[in-house]
Chains A and B, each alone.
Chain A
C-alpha cells in the first residue's frame, strides 16, 4: 500500500523559517513533489526531488532521504501569503512522469504577525 504522513497544521511567525516534514512508505519510488495549495485553488508546483539531498529554489528548499523515506520542505523569510496547505506527493510509478501521484493529507500552514 501507499502511506504518506505529514503534520496536519503548523503555525509560524512572519519572517521566520519553518520546516514541514513528510514521511512515506510506497510500493515504488520515482520522485517526491511538494505543492502549495491556497484555499479553493489548484495545487501549484514547488519542488521535485528524485535523488537524495537538498534542492534550493529561492525561499523554498526541499530535502530527500530515500533510505529513510523522509523529506522536508523548508520555507525561509515567511510571508503572510505563504499561509496555505502544503502537499507532499510521491510518484510510485516505475516510469517517469508526475502523473500518478500519491498525496499526503496536506499541512495547513498559518503565518502570523
Chain B
C-alpha cells in the first residue's frame, strides 16, 4: 500500500511568487493536515481538512490557503512568498488517532 505522497519533493521559488504543494493521503484516510517545519524546530500546524471541509487552522497569515478534493487529496497554496517561508512542508493523513506523514516538500525561497 502506498503511504502519504507529496509533490514536488524539492522546490526553489523567488520572493513574491506563489507555490502550490500537493498531497495524496493513504487510501481510505479522509483527514489531511499540513505542517510547516523550519530547521531545528518541530512541525507547526497549518491546516486540517476532513471530508473536504476545513476543520482547523493554525496561526499562519492569509497568504496560506488549502483545499481538499473529492478524492481526499489536498493542495497547500502560499502566495507572496517570503524568505521566512523556506521550510519543510509536511502533509499527514489519518483515519483515527495516528497521523502518517509524507516525505515532505522542501521549499526554498530566494
Interface residues of A (CB under 8 A from B): 4, 31, 33, 35, 41-45, 48, 50, 87, 89, 91, 93, 96-106
Contact = CB atoms under 8 A, between A and B. Distances in A.
Interface of B: 31-33, 35, 40-45, 48, 50, 55-56, 90, 92-94, 96-104
Contacts of B56: 93, 100
B42 A50 contact: no
Contact of A89 (B40, B42, B48, B55): B42
Identify the interface centre among A35, A42, A87, A102: most chain B CB within 10 Å of its CB: A42
B94 A97 contact: yes
B62 to A, nearest CB: 19
B31 A97 contact: yes
Contacts, number: 71
Given A31-B97, A42-B90, A44-B101, A100 B45 contact: yes
A35 B45 CA distance: 15
Contacts of A96: 96-97
A102 B58 CA distance: 10
B42 A98 contact: no
Given A31-B97, A42-B101, A99 B48 contact: yes
B32 to A, nearest CB: 8
A99 B42 contact: no
Given A96-B96, A101-B92, A103-B44, 5 more contacts: A33-B99, A43-B90, A98-B92, A99-B32, A105-B40
Contacts of B42: 4, 87, 89, 103-106
B96 A101 contact: no
Contact of B31 (A44, A99, A103, A104): A99
B99 to A, nearest CB: 4
A106 B43 CA distance: 9
Nearest to A31: B97
A77 to B, nearest CB: 24
A44 to B, nearest CB: 7
Nearest to A44: B101
